[in-house]
A and B are shown apart, each in its own frame.
Chain A
Amino acid sequence: MLRKTINLVGLLLFLLIIPAYILGQTAVEKIKNNSSDKPKTQKPGKAVEKEKGLQTEQQPIVVSQSVEENSDETDETNRDDEQQRRRIVTADDIKKRRSAIGSFLMKPFRAVAPAVMDRITTFEEDKQYLILFGPQTFPINPQFGGVSEDSGFGVGFTASTRDYLSKDFRIIGSTLVTSKNYARTNVGFEFTPQKFAKNKLTIKLIGQQLLLAQEDFYGTGANSSKDNETSFYQRQLGAKLSVDFEVNKNLKFGAFTEFTRNDITEGGGDTSFVISDRFNSQTLPGLDRNVRLLETGAFIQTQMLDEPENPHSGWSTKFSFSNVDSPGRNSFGWQNYGIDARTYIPLGNKLRVVALRFLGDFKDTKGNSAVPFFRLARLGTGETLRGYDTFRFQGNNLVHLNVEYRFKLMQGFETSGFTGVEGVFFGDFGQVYNNYDELKWRNLRATWGGGFRITTKSSVALTLLYAQSPERGGILWRFGRTF
């Protein structure tokens, strides 16, 4: 009983102390203000003698006193005031009013803000962002990003002869190196005839070297174990000839042929095993050097989207087919079929959108040939089963469904190009399989999560997500959109 009483008294005291102190201070100030005859807020300037509270001169009888200022007497008064050069407050008055705790807490910002603001102003005045991110007006431009999934952040440059040689023909090249020692270098030609096909036809011949330093591999099939995580190093050297034709904004098709030579060795990374600890070239086709592949394929893409780079309504579909053989001593050969179907359904209006994407990747091996493991269909990427580790599930075939619910959060600043922030909730569902018997509900994997998309007028600048799976959770980010 005593304890409860003490508790109650303590609570009341605690609740009353602060307001009591405040009221006390307020009352003291009020008394001070009203008791003094000297106008605290109307201290005269330097040129004026200190005025007394009561005016000693004879005051004329005031017939009317108005707050309006359109009388001759008001003009005269204004001139008198100007001659006296009075201030409504003085610097000393201001100092007394400053909040102690507020000033203390704001000190770090006051210290930092001017220097930061100066730098920002300089940056903007120099328009450095134009050089870094804006229209590529220079022949050589910096480049940022990754080489492949989970390859780390990369820095490099792109180069192009632009219109210097010809409006139709360009020599292009780029190189990028990442923090995880991934690298990509390519050089080639690009031909876009202006007169014929009016910039809709693009022919490219690109030679490329790709160094993938620590690619993860867990084995094949829907039930591969996380404990089997290994890594490998892939060096790919190749050339690709492609022809793309854009009929209009809703229809595009193309064809390509590509030759690559692949060398697979043990990878780096922080996995417990390297790939040769678990597999060999007999148990894992493609674990070898000098794996040569010749691929020829085509695609057709149709779409009806309101905004191609950040759609809020419409659909798009892409079908692809390719035939892969391995010239030389390897015995690889298959046909690859792919489908990527997307639809965007506004809920009421475009402020809330459900985005659906179905991905299918199917392989039909030729005779007794196999698919090299590094060309298997993969789930566990920035766009598929996002809560799992990179390339967590691999197999000959995959089916996958993304479901995203996107909604507008903040409006942004339209005229600056930054059109706002969107919120996202998503679920990914997918499975890999080598044969149809493995296609079962119990082998279906799922991840879920949410995040934000920073949008610009025509696209998505940055996607930042948190993704969770039964195995782990983590943050993903990427420039651009997922789909």
Chain B
Amino acid sequence: MPKAQKEVAFCGVLGELFNKLGMDLMLRNKLIIFTAIISMFLSLSIQAQRPKVYSREKPIKIDFDMENIKQPKSIGTGYLYDFIDGTIFQSTRRNLDVAHKFRKVSGKKKESINVNILDQVPDSSWFTNRISTQDFSIEEIKRGSNVNPKPKSGKLIVLRGKTVGATPGFWVRDENGQTFILKFDPKDFPELASGAEMIATKMFWAFGFNVPENHIFHFRREDLEISEEAQVTGEKNKKRGMTEADLDLILSKIARQSDGQYRSLASRLIDGSPLGGITFSGRRKDDPNDIIPHEIRRDVRALKVFGAWTEHNDLRVGNTFDVFVEEDGRKFVRHYLIDFGSTFGSDSVQVNLPEVGREHGLDFNQAGKILLSGGLYQPPWRSKKHDPVFSPAVGRYSTKNFSPNKWKQNFPLVALGQMTDLDGFWAMQKVAAFTPEQIRAIVETAEYSKESDTEYLTRQILARQRIIVQHYANELMGIGKFNLKREGDSSYLNFKDYRKQFSLDEIVNSQYEYKLQGLDKNAKTLAEGVFNDANLEINSDLVEQISAVGNAEKNRGIAKLILNRKGEGGKKATVYLWSKDGISLEIVGIVH
């Protein structure tokens, strides 16, 4: 057999292919070896990333990233920066992340790592657990992040102004000495941006994020007095002293109420030294506390779910804020979300276009589909008639064509693109925790002049809530908020069934199967069966059995309780239970 044929025979199909391509023997061999090496690299790069699923130690409730540090450098940002970063750099990084692509194809997405054994995100400088872990009264939910008094009506000293650009505004100091940024609604759309920003601020605070203190504030022209040091950024981008004419120019661009007052959103300045925005990938390298890359933080990834609910399409670096603060004698960076003017039906200076939330600004996937059809296919939501504007104050916000997992913000963000089902489920639990009364109370903080606007928006927010919960609850088993209670000799494990809670007319399967067994490879089943009503009794005999399982010290006394809906074997939830003494029982791990 000639040498060439031997080569082909040896290399099999690959060799045959190379032969047909006319490649010489040496190159063929090199390519085959190269392919094999690359395959191994790919394999190495997707080593299992699963965190520890249970632990006898108490779950971490605070991820302490608030050590005393030196002040990091400020990161500049702006719209152009965010556009290029999101559309080019972040997209390219994501497309070049071979390991990520491989994981996506193989169904093994990289899970978030700031998650404790109960599948919860600990408190940190980024996030504080609120809704779903605490009960809030209506007053508390309406107050939200506002711990300081609202601006005092009366004399307002104007400190700084901005006359150019789409969103004019100015800074004021009230008689209490507090400084606020006053933001306004566009002339043709009164209450639009300010209302949306109020509602979104309350909701994001309730989710757990750090947000500024915002108030709806009314004032009159006569209340304003220009400070001698006040400067304005004029048309030539140069700063100069502010004049009455500048003030009148700003006010001429904004909506005025029939009683002569102006309505604004007064945002209290955040105390601390500004450091620019939060990047949605990587980390702040000069911050020793910031060790977790942002794209694998669950609280960041989950912004996809929160953003979908609130239609926060303008999620980008420029709408985040890192502040160097001092708390309890320590100086560190606290991370804020700000500028919620582009939420719900508002796009800050106008109502949302129908494409918002359904496409990126430069959506190459969508463009590819349209191009392949020769322009004949156009996404149905692009027609303005498809999703009409409800009112100038509320804009365009509904459930038409709303799909939580397909929701898109203006600029592609790596972190949001890497959200996993577990991240989504965690976020869904936050969404599900809002009661209709709380939603209504939050919408009322927007102070819409028409009751119909409040009614409509409340209804739509609740409708989207339902869709989000149903979607993410169906991705997994759909149960959570596990709770173990002792009553007499027995312990009772109960949980929340989100699918059942948020179903409409369809019948939800609320019969559950369980199987309790040790962790050993050949561990015997301690108990199994079917139960209803999200409440499982674990009697004292069973607890004693749990304490005795385990053939090694490392897993002694720990059993796993595997739950699934009857007939849905594929979607499970596993609760790890530990009994040290045969009497007490603790949850030491949860895996959805």
- A residues within 8 Å of B by Cβ? 2-3, 6-11, 13-14, 17-18, 21-22, 25-26, 29-30, 33-37, 39-42, 45, 51, 53-55, 59, 61-70, 74, 77-78, 81-82, 84-91, 93-94, 97, 99-102, 105-106, 109, 113, 116-118, 120-127, 130, 135, 137-138, 349, 351-352, 405-416, 418, 421, 423, 425
Contact = CB atoms under 8 A, between A and B. Distances in A.
A130 B65 contact: no
7 contacts: A25-B46, A42-B60, A54-B56, A62-B585, A69-B61, A101-B45, A137-B236
A37 B363 CA distance: 47
A351 B484 CA distance: 57
Given A69-B134, A106-B96, A127-B237, A86 B62 contact: yes
A39 B55 contact: yes
A129 to B, nearest CB: 8
B347 interface: yes
B392 to A, nearest CB: 17
A82 to B, nearest CB: 6
Contacts of A416: 79, 83
Nearest to B279: A117
Given A413-B83, A425-B374, A53 B366 contact: no
A347 B375 CA distance: 11
B26 interface: no
B240 interface: no
Nearest to A418: B361
Q: Nearest 6 CB-CB pairs, A to B? A: A10-B12, A407-B375, A29-B48, A121-B76, A99-B99, A127-B237
Given A42-B57, A59-B580, A61-B583, A33 B50 contact: yes
A355 to B, nearest CB: 13
B61 A81 contact: yes
Contact of A125 (B10, B78, B100): B78
A54 to B, nearest CB: 6
A6 B1 CA distance: 15
Contacts of B364: 410
Contact of A6 (B12, B116, B342, B374): B12
A102 B45 contact: yes
Given A11-B12, A11-B13, A407 B370 contact: yes
- The secondary-structure label for the interface of chain B is loop
Interface string B340-362: 00100001111001010001011
B261 to A, nearest CB: 26
A3 B113 CA distance: 50
Contacts of A54: 56, 553
Given A64-B485, A82-B64, A407-B378, 6 more contacts: A18-B39, A62-B585, A109-B96, A124-B80, A138-B236, A414-B350
B202 to A, nearest CB: 20
B23 interface: no
B98 A90 contact: no
B13 A102 contact: no
B315 to A, nearest CB: 13
Interface in B573-587: 580-581, 583-587
Contacts of A61: 581, 583-584
B13 A10 contact: yes
Contacts of B553: 37, 54
A7 B13 contact: yes
B100 A30 contact: no
B317 to A, nearest CB: 9
Interface in B92-119: 92-93, 96-100, 106, 108, 110, 113-118
Contacts of A90: 291
Interface of B: 8-16, 36, 38-53, 55-58, 60-65, 67, 76-81, 83-85, 89, 92-93, 96-100, 106, 108, 110, 113-118, 120, 122-123, 129, 133-135, 166, 235-237, 291-293, 342, 347-350, 353, 355, 359, 361-364, 366-367, 370-371, 374-376, 378, 382-383, 410, 481-486, 519, 553-554, 580-581, 583-587, 590
Contact of A88 (B49, B114, B484): B114
Given A10-B14, A42-B57, A352 B120 contact: no
Given A89-B292, A117-B85, A121-B81, A35 B383 contact: no
Contacts of B371: 409, 423
Q: Which of A3, A14, A67, A118 has the most C-beta atoms of chain B within 10 angstroms of its own C-beta?
A: A67
B99 A10 contact: no
Contacts of B342: 415
Contacts of B237: 126-127, 130
A101 B50 CA distance: 20
A66 B483 contact: yes
A392 B484 CA distance: 85
Contacts of A352: 375-376, 378
B48 A26 contact: yes
B162 to A, nearest CB: 12
Nearest to B285: A114
Contacts of B38: 101
Nearest to B354: A411
Contact of B235 (A89, A109, A137): A137
A93 B64 contact: no
Given A410-B362, A423-B375, A35 B584 contact: no
Nearest to A17: B39
Contacts of A106: 93, 96-97
Nearest to A69: B133
A42 B55 contact: yes
Contact of B56 (A35, A53, A425): A53
B63 A88 contact: yes
Contacts of B60: 42, 81, 86, 88
Contacts of B382: 351, 408, 411
A250 B96 CA distance: 52
Contacts of B84: 116-117, 120
A9 B45 contact: no
B98 A105 contact: yes
B410 A113 contact: no
A415 to B, nearest CB: 6
Nearest to B378: A351
B12 A65 contact: no
Contact of A62 (B42, B43, B64, B584): B584
A403 to B, nearest CB: 14
A76 B441 CA distance: 32
A245 B79 CA distance: 40
A130 B166 CA distance: 14
Contacts of A89: 113-114, 291-292
Contacts of B10: 6
A122 B376 CA distance: 42
Nearest to B362: A410
A67 B44 CA distance: 35
A64 B383 CA distance: 55
A415 B166 contact: yes
A67 B46 CA distance: 31
Contacts of A349: 378, 383
A7 B17 CA distance: 11
Contacts of A35: 554
A409 B41 contact: no
B12 A14 contact: yes
B384 to A, nearest CB: 9
A24 B49 CA distance: 14
Contacts of A33: 48, 50-53
